[in-house]
Structure 1
Amino acid sequence: MLEGFADEILVGGRWRPGSGAVVETRSPATGEVLARLRGAGPADVDEAVRAGAAAAADPAWRDVPPHERARYLVRIADLIAERADDLAALQTADTGKSINETRALVASAQGTFRYFAGALETLEDALTPPRGPYLTMSVHEPIGVVGAITPWNSPIASDAQKIAPALAAGNAVVLKPAEWTPLVSLALGRLICDAGLPPGLLSVLAGPGRIVGDAIVRHPGVGKVSFTGGTSTGRTIGAAAAEKIMPVSLELGGKSPTIVFPDADREQALAGLLFGIFSSSGQSCIAGSRVFVHASIYDEVLDELVARAGKLRVGPGTDPATQVAPMVAHAHRDKVAAMVDRAVADGARLRCGGRIPEGGEYAEGAYYLPTILDGVPNGAAICQEEIFGPVLVALPFEDEEDLVAQANDTVYGLACGIWTADYRRAWRVARRIDAGTVWINTYKQFSISTPFGGFKESGLGREKGREGIRAYMRQKSLYWGLDENPLPWAT
C-alpha cells in the first residue's frame, strides 16, 4: 500500500470516505495493491453537485473578475511544478506508464493551467453591429456545474484539460477519474485545494463509471458533461444528454491511419511510426494503429519496422530506459492479447510480438510485446476495431485514391499521420482525410493552444485553444435601447 495515501475522496469541499463500493487500485508492473478507498455513490454525486452549484453562485466566486480568477489557475500551476516529481511517480505507480511519459504529462498539466490563465486574461466579449436604435452585445456566462469524466491512460493531463478551462469560465467541476487509476486525480484535487480554490468548486469522485459517471451525467444540476473515453460509453452519455437537452463534449476512440509515401524521409518515418503506436504501450486514442505504405516500398519499410520493434526496451515504468511499459491492468492486457490471437486465427500474418513476455521482471506485470500484423484487408476486424494496445496493422496502397478510400473506411476519425517530402501532396491528402488532427512528418505532438477533437464516431466538440473556455460557457445577447421615443407599434 502507498504510504501516506488517505482513503478519502473530495465531496463538495470535504475530504471523506465515499458511500459507494471499495475502489482498489493495483500496480500494473507488479500486481500489488497500491491503495484501497471507499469510492463515491449516487448520494455523494448529489452532495457534490449541490455544493458546486452553491459555490458557483456565491458572489465570492461568481463576481471575481477574470484576471483574479486567473490567479487561482497560476497558483495551481505553480504547485504542480513544485510537486512534479511526486505526481509523476504516483502516476507511474498507478498506470504503469514510463516515468519519462508521466513527467511529460505532469508538465502538460502545468502548462494547461498556465495557458488558460493567460487566455482568460485576454478573453473578450463583443459589441455586435446594431440594426436599429439600440446597442447590441454578445456576452458569455458560466454554465454552473460541469461534469468531467476522464480516462485511465493519461489522468493528470486529461484532468487539467477539463478542470482548467471550466474553472476559468467560472464553473464548479465534479471530476470522475477512471476507476482503475484514481490516485493522481485525487492528488491533483488536494493540490488544487491547497492553492486556495473556494470550497465546493471542485469534487473528485472515484468509483465505477456505471454508477458514479452515470449519476453525474443524469443529475439535473449538471449543466454540461465533458467526457474522454470509449465510443460506446460516449454514445450512452450522448443519449442521456439528449434527454436533458444538455451540451456535451465527447473525445472518443480512434483507429488512426499513418501513411508513408515513397519520397518520405525514411528515418523520420520509421521513428514516427514506432513512436505513434508503441509509446504509451499503444494505450492512446490517437495511436497510429494502421500504417499504409506505398506498395513500391512496402516490403522494405515493413521489414525495418519489424526489426526495430523487436529491439524496443520493454520494462517497468520506473526505469528511465523503458520504451514500452506494462499495460494498465492484466484484464486489459488479456483483452488485447485475445484480439491479436483472433486476428491470427482469422488469417493475419504475425510479423513480431503477439505474446506475453515470460520470466524475470515480466512475471507479475501486465506486459505485452510490441506486435505487428499484416496480410489482412482493411475491412478485417483487427483493422476496424480499436485495440488500445501495442498492436500495429500494416497495409499496402497503390495510389492516392486507393489510399484515401482505405484510410477513411472506418467509423472513426480522430487523427492521421502523413510522411512525404511533397508539400502539395501533404496538403491534398490531409484535406481529404476524415480526421480532426493530421500530423505531417511528425506524430503525437500537441499544443494546448490548438483545438483537438474528432470526426464521426471519434467524438463531438473540441477541447484546448482559446475557445476551450467558451466551451464551458453559455452565450447571451443583450440589447440596449437608445431611442427616446416609445416603440411605434404600441403608440
Structure 2
Amino acid sequence: MKNQTAPNLSPSFSAKVWQNLIGGKWTGSTGDERIPLLDPATEDSLGSIPKGTTEDADRAVASAREAFEAGAWRRMGVRERSRVLRRVGEILLRRCEEIATAETLDQGRSLRQSRGMMLPLAAGAWEFFAGCLLNFHGRAASPEPWASAYTINQPLGVVACITPGNVPLVLGSEKLAPALAVGNSVVLKPPPECPISSVLLVECLLEAGIPEGVVNLVHGDGEPVGRRLAEHPDVDMVAFTGSTETGKAIMRLGAGNVKRLLLELGGKAPQVVFPDADVDAAVKGALWGVYLNSGQICMASTRLLLHESIYDEFVEKFVRRTRDLRVGPGIEPDTNVGPMVTIRARDKVEACIARAVEEGATVLCGGDRPRGDRYARGFWVEPTVLAADSPGITATRQEIFGPVPVVQRFAHMAEAIRMANDTEYGLAGSVWTNDLNTAMTMAEEVRAGYVWINDHLIRATGFPFGGWKQSGFGREAAAQTLDEYCNVKTVYIDRTGLAEKPRYGLL
C-alpha cells in the first residue's frame, strides 16, 4: 500500500451520530442516552453512539434469527457466498485510507500500524475464509458393505461477536468472516470506546451484498448489551475476545442454553532469550513485541526472561532503544507509540506500575506520563521498563495491557521453562536461540497456543491461533475455524432394503 498522507477525517466525525444496524436499517436505540467518542490523543469529539439497551440487543437477535430462518444467506450457493466474502476484503482495501485513519483516530495507534498491518490483516481474513469455504465439506464412507454414511456441516444459527478495543477491525473480521462463511447470521457488539472502524466494516458488508438482517450491529456497554447477548436463549454461539474475567462471566451466562463459545482471553507472553541468541535481534523483536499498539495486544511480550549472561547487555540496549521511541498522536507520521485507548486503560496501567514498585520492582525507564503541553490532553503513558529480581511481584503474572514489560533473569533452561509457565495464561510466547535443540525443547515445553522462534507477534497465514489455560479455547484464523461455527450431522443410509435387519433379532 502507498504510504500516502491520510485524509483528515476528525472534523467530519466531531458531530457524527453513529447508529445501530438492525434488520438492514441504521437506527437509534430504544433508550435516549448516548456514549461520547473521544480521540484518545486529544480528547476531541469523534461523535457519539447509542447507549444500547436490552431491548436493542433483543431486536438485533430477533432480526438475525428471522434472517437465518428465511434462509436467503445460508441457502445461497457456496461459490456465491465465497464471492461476497471476497468482495468485502476488496472493499476494505479500496477504503483503506479512510478506515485506517478512522481506527487510528478512534483507537490511538499509529497510522503506519493501522494502514500497514491492521487493514491488510482484516482484508486478508475475508479473502482467506472465502477460499477456505470452497474446500469445506463433510466426509463420506461405507462403514459396512450394506450401508453408507456421510456428514453435513450446518450453520449454528445466530452468532454474537463481541470485540475489544485494541484491534476491533481485525478481530471483528476474524469472527464475522468464518461465522458468515458457513451460513450463520450475526450480531456484532463492537467496543464502545472505539467502534467506528466496526461500523465502516459493516458498511463494507452491506455494499458487498450481505442480505438484510444477516448482519446486525448493536452499540453499548457490556452491561446490559454484552450480558444480554451472552444469556439470550436465541443466541447459539458467542465469539468473544477480551479479559479472562469477562470470559468467565460469558461462560456462566451462556450455560442457560448450553451455548457454543469461542473465547480468546488474556495473556502474559514470555520472550525467553538464551545466551547464544543474537541479542540485537532479540532487542528489536522485544521493542516490536512490547510496544506495538502501545502494548495493548494480548500476545505482547510483556515478560522478558533473559539468561543471566546476557542480561546486562540486553537491558542496556533495550532501555536505550525504549527511551528513543517517539510518543505522540497516531495520526502523526513519525509516532512510534500512541496513547492508551481510554482514560480507564491509562489509570489501570499506572496502578499496575505503582503496585509493582511497592512490591519491589525497579523502574528502569518511563513509569510516568510524558511531559509537555502536547500531552496535557489525552490518555498517555510513557514506554516503561520494570525490573523484577525479587519473587512475588504481581506484574510478572498480571496482564497489564500497556507499554510496560518486566525483565527477569534465569540461570538455566529448566528455570526458564518454570518461569515461562508460571502464569494462569497460555496464549503465546517466544524463544530466542540459535540452538535447534533448545528451540525445539522450549517450543514443546512452553504451555501456550502459539510459540515463535526468533520472532514475536507475527501470524503464520492459515495456522490456528488460540489459548491454553485461562487464555481461552477455540481456534481462530485457520481453516479449522469454520468447524467452530458449525454443527456436524451424520447421515446413515441402509442400502439393504430389508424390513427385518439381522440385529433386530437381538431385541
TM-score, with normalisation over the residues of structure 2?
Answer: 0.94
The offset of 1:315, in angstroms, is: 1.1
Asked if 1:99 corresponds to 2:111, the answer is yes
Asked if 1:389 corresponds to 2:398, the answer is no
Q: Report if the CA contact (8 A) 1:371-1:390 is conserved.
A: yes
Q: State the match for 1:85 in structure 2.
A: 97
Q: Distance in 1 between matches of 2:360 and 2:164?
A: 33
Q: State the match for 2:54 in structure 1.
A: 42
Q: Distance in 1 between matches of 2:429 and 2:339?
A: 25
Q: Report if the CA contact (8 A) 2:360-2:390 is conserved.
A: no
Q: Report if the CA contact (8 A) 2:65-2:234 is conserved.
A: yes
Asked if 1:51 corresponds to 2:63, the answer is yes
The offset of 1:310, in angstroms, is: 0.6
Structure 1 counterpart of 2:439, which letter?
A
The offset of 1:446, in angstroms, is: 1.1
Q: State the match for 2:81 in structure 1.
A: 69
Q: Which moved more, 1:264-273 or 1:241-250?
A: 241-250
Identity of aligned residues (%): 38
Q: Report if the CA contact (8 A) 1:17-1:39 is conserved.
A: no
Structure 2 counterpart of 1:352, which letter?
C
Q: Report if the CA contact (8 A) 1:112-1:448 is conserved.
A: no
Q: Report if the CA contact (8 A) 2:137-2:153 is conserved.
A: no
Among candidates 330, 337, 354, match of residue 367 of structure 2: 354
Q: Distance in 2 between matches of 1:401 and 1:489?
A: 58
Q: Report if the CA contact (8 A) 1:12-1:49 is conserved.
A: no
Q: Report if the CA contact (8 A) 1:19-1:39 is conserved.
A: no
Among candidates 27, 39, 43, match of residue 31 of structure 1: 43
Q: State the match for 1:377 in structure 2.
A: 390
The offset of 1:489, in angstroms, is: 5.0
Among candidates 194, 197, 212, match of residue 207 of structure 2: 194
Among candidates 444, 447, 455, match of residue 434 of structure 1: 447
Q: Distance in 1 between matches of 2:277 and 2:220?
A: 47
Q: State the match for 1:220 in structure 2.
A: 233
Structure 2 counterpart of 1:55, which letter?
A
The offset of 1:152, in angstroms, is: 0.3
Q: Report if the CA contact (8 A) 1:282-1:391 is conserved.
A: yes
Q: Report if the CA contact (8 A) 1:96-1:327 is conserved.
A: yes
SS for the counterpart of 1:140 is strand
Tell me the alpha carbon deviations over residues 64-117 of structure 1, each in whole angstroms, 9 at most, x when there is no partner.
Answer: 111111011011111111111000000001001100111121111111100100
1:271-420 equivalent positions in 2, closer than 5 A: 271-377=284-390, 379-420=392-433
Q: Distance in 2 between matches of 1:346 and 1:409?
A: 18
The offset of 1:345, in angstroms, is: 2.1
Q: Report if the CA contact (8 A) 2:75-2:183 is conserved.
A: no
Among candidates 111, 117, 128, match of residue 141 of structure 2: 128
Q: Distance in 2 between matches of 1:378 and 1:370?
A: 23
Q: Distance in 1 between matches of 2:261 and 2:150?
A: 26
Q: State the match for 2:189 in structure 1.
A: 176
Q: State the match for 2:502 in structure 1.
A: 488
Q: State the match for 2:12 in structure 1.
A: 3
Aligned residues between the structures: 491
Q: Report if the CA contact (8 A) 1:377-1:395 is conserved.
A: no
Q: Report if the CA contact (8 A) 2:101-2:114 is conserved.
A: yes
Q: Which moved more, 1:392-401 or 1:236-245?
A: 236-245
Among candidates 97, 101, 123, match of residue 110 of structure 1: 123
The offset of 1:2, in angstroms, is: 4.8
Gaps of 5+ in 1: none
Q: Distance in 1 between matches of 2:180 and 2:390?
A: 47
The offset of 1:6, in angstroms, is: 3.9
Q: Distance in 2 between matches of 1:400 and 1:333?
A: 35
Q: State the match for 2:5 in structure 1.
A: none
Query: Which structure 1 residue ranges, 4+ long, deviate > 4 Å from structure 2?
Result: none
Tell me the alpha carbon deviations over residues 334-384 of structure 1, each in whole angstroms, 9 at most, x when there is no partner.
Answer: 220121012112211110000101213212121111111113335311111
User: Aligned in 2, Cα 1:357/1:50: closer, same or farther, shift over 3 Å?
Assistant: same
Q: Report if the CA contact (8 A) 2:328-2:335 is conserved.
A: yes
Q: Compute the RMSD of aligned alpha carbons.
A: 1.4
Q: Distance in 1 between matches of 2:504 and 2:460?
A: 55
The offset of 1:131, in angstroms, is: 3.2
Q: Report if the CA contact (8 A) 2:108-2:330 is conserved.
A: yes
Q: Distance in 2 between matches of 1:154 and 1:7?
A: 19
Q: Distance in 2 between matches of 1:332 and 1:471?
A: 31
The offset of 1:128, in angstroms, is: 3.3
User: Aligned in 2, Cα 1:230/1:378: closer, same or farther, shift over 3 Å?
Assistant: farther
Q: State the match for 2:27 in structure 1.
A: 16
The offset of 1:448, in angstroms, is: 4.2
Structure 2 counterpart of 1:256, which letter?
A
Q: Distance in 1 between matches of 2:344 and 2:101?
A: 23
SS for the counterpart of 2:144 is coil
SS for the counterpart of 2:133 is helix
Q: Distance in 1 between matches of 2:316 and 2:503?
A: 80
Tell me the alpha carbon deviations over residues 186-206 of structure 1, each in whole angstroms, 9 at most, x when there is no partner.
Answer: 111122112221000001111
Q: Report if the CA contact (8 A) 2:361-2:390 is conserved.
A: no
Q: Report if the CA contact (8 A) 2:17-2:48 is conserved.
A: no
Q: Distance in 1 between matches of 2:347 and 2:504?
A: 74
Structure 1 counterpart of 2:327, which letter?
V
Q: Distance in 2 between matches of 1:420 and 1:161?
A: 32
Q: Distance in 2 between matches of 1:233 and 1:423?
A: 39
Gaps of 5+ in 2: 1-9
Structure 2 counterpart of 1:451, which letter?
P
Q: Distance in 2 between matches of 1:417 and 1:18?
A: 45
Q: Which moved more, 1:359-368 or 1:468-477?
A: 359-368
Q: Distance in 2 between matches of 1:432 and 1:13?
A: 49
User: Aligned in 2, Cα 1:62/1:279: closer, same or farther, shift over 3 Å?
Assistant: closer
User: Aligned in 2, Cα 1:60/1:378: closer, same or farther, shift over 3 Å?
Assistant: same
Tell me the alpha carbon deviations over residues 279-300 of structure 1, each in whole angstroms, 9 at most, x when there is no partner.
Answer: 1111110110001100111112
SS for the counterpart of 1:101 is helix
